[in-house]
C-alpha cells in the first residue's frame, strides 16, 4: 500500500496540514510561547502539540512535504555580471542579513536571475525531527515563493493541492539537509571552495574587541615603556664650550721692567 503524502504549510504563527487523499486542510495554531518571530522556543511543547493534533485527526504516518510560506523565507539576488569571488562576497553579505544563527539556503536560477532563498534551519530541522519520531518521512522543505514563479497560478490562488503536486518543480531550492548555497562561477573561472561563513556573530564581535584591545596594549607599550629604557646620550666633546687656558705671568720679566725710584732729601744748612 502506497504511503499517504501530506503538505505541512508553515506560517509565522500557524501551520496548515493538507491531506492529499481527502483534500482536507487542517489548521494548527501555534501559541506565542512555543514559536514566535520564526523561532521555535519550546520544542517539547511543539512535539506534544503536533502529536495530539495527528492523533485527534486520525492521521496515519506517511510522507510529508514542508511548504515554507513567503513570510518565513528571505530572498536575495546575486548579480551574474560579477566575478566568482564577488558573487561569493555578495552571497555572504546577504546571508549575514538573515536573522538566524543557523541558516538553510539554496542558490539557483529563477525567473532569469540568480536567486538565493534562505530560512531558519533550526525551525525546519525541528519540524522534520518531530514528524520522523512519529514514523513520518520528510524529504522536502520548499520555499513557496519559488513555486509561485514556476507556477503563476499560485500567485492569485494559494491552493494547497497545487503546492503539493508541483513541489518537485522547486527541487533545486530544497532546504532539507542541504549545504549552504554556493556562489555560481563563470565557466572560465577556476573552481575554488566557498569561504566559510561565520554564523555566530557574538563570537565574531568578541574576537574583534579582543583584537582592538591587543592593538591598544601594544601602542601603550611602545609609547610608555620604550622611551624610559633608552640610555641618556652624552654630548660629544666637540660640542662642549672651550675653557680658556690661563696665561702664565713671568715674575722675573715684571721685576726687570720695574726701576727703583731715587729720591733726594735736601738737608738745610
For residues 139 and 210, which has the higher predicted lDDT (pLDDT)?
A: 139
pLDDT-derived band at 253 (thresholds 50, 70, 90) equals: very low
Question: What's the pLDDT at 213?
Answer: 74
Q: What was the pLDDT predicted at 240?
A: 47
Q: What's the pLDDT score for residue 115?
A: 95
Cell matching residue 135 = 514514523
What domains appear along the chain, each with residue ranges and CATH number?
A: 5-201 (3.30.420)
Residues paired with residue 253 on neighbouring β-strands, in sequence order: none
pLDDT the model gives residue 159: 93
Query: Which of 29-33, 68-72, 253-257 shows the lowest mean pLDDT across its residues?
Result: 253-257
**Residues 38-45: contacts with CB under 8 Å, at least 24 apart:** 38/12, 38/72, 38/100, 38/119, 38/120, 38/123, 39/100, 39/120, 39/122, 39/123, 40/122, 40/123, 40/126, 43/126, 43/130
Is the confidence at residue 243, as pLDDT, over 80? no
* pLDDT number for residue 10: 97
Instruction: Render pLDDT for 138-180 as a digit per residue (tens, 0 to 9).
Output: 989 999 999 999 999 999 999 999 999 999 999 999 999 654 5
| Rounded average pLDDT over 55-76 | 96
Cell numbers representing residue 54 in the block: 495527528
Q: Given the C-alpha cell 624610559, which residue does it identify?
A: 228
Q: What pLDDT is attached to residue 211?
A: 74
Per-residue confidence (pLDDT) for residue 260, from 0 to 100: 45
Interval 201-228 mean pLDDT: 66
Residue-wise pLDDT tens digits, 103-125: 999 999 998 889 999 999 999 99
Mean residue pLDDT of the chain comes to 79
Question: Which band of pLDDT confidence, cut at 50, 70 and 90, is reported for residue 227?
Answer: low
Cα 7 from Cα 163, distance rounded (Å): 8
Least confident of 79-93, 111-125, 137-151, 185-199: 185-199
Exposure string over 103-137, b if 16+ CB within 10 A, otherwise e: bbbbbbebeeebbbbbbbbbbbbbbbebbeeeebe
- Percent of the chain predicted with pLDDT > 70: 68
Band (pLDDT 50/70/90 cuts) for residue 14 is very high
Amino acid at each position: 500500500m502506497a504511503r499517504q503524502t501530506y503538505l505541512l504549510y508553515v506560517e509565522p504563527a500557524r501551520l496548515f496540514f493538507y491531506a492529499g487523499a481527502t483534500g482536507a486542510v487542517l489548521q494548527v495554531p501555534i501559541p506565542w510561547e512555543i514559536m514566535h518571530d520564526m523561532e521555535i522556543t519550546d520544542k517539547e511543547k511543539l512535539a506534544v502539540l503536533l502529536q495530539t493534533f495527528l492523533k485527534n485527526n486520525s492521521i496515519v504516518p506517511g510522507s510529508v512535504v514542508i511548504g515554507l510560506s513567503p513570510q518565513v523565507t528571505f530572498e536575495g539576488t546575486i548579480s551574474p555580471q560579477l566575478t566568482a569571488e564577488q558573487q561569493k562576497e555578495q552571497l555572504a553579505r546577504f546571508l549575514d542579513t538573515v536573522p538566524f544563527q543557523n541558516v538553510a539556503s539554496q542558490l539557483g536560477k529563477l525567473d532569469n536571475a540568480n536567486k538565493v532563498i534562505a530560512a531558519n534551519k533550526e525551525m525546519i530541522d525541528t519540524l522534520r525531527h518531530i514528524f520522523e519520531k512519529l514514523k513520518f518521512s520528510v524529504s522536502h522543505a520548499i520555499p513557496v515563493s519559488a513555486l509561485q514563479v514556476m507556477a503563476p497560478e499560485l500567485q492569485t490562488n494559494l491552493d494547497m493541492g497545487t503546492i503539493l503536486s508541483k513541489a518537485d518543480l522547486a527541487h533545486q531550492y530544497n532546504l532539507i539537509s542541504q549545504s549552504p548555497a554556493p556562489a555560481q562561477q563563470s565557466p572560465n573561472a577556476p573552481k575554488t571552495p566557498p569561504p566559510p561563513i561565520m554564523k555566530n556573530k557574538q563570537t565574531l564581535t568578541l574576537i574583534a574587541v579582543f583584537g582592538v584591545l591587543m592593538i591598544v596594549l601594544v601602542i601603550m607599550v611602545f609609547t610608555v615603556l620604550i622611551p624610559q629604557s633608552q640610555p641618556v646620550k652624552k654630548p660629544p666633546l666637540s660640542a662642549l664650550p672651550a675653557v680658556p687656558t690661563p696665561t702664565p705671568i713671568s715674575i722675573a720679566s715684571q721685576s726687570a721692567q720695574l726701576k727703583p725710584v731715587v729720591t733726594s732729601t735736601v738737608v738745610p744748612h
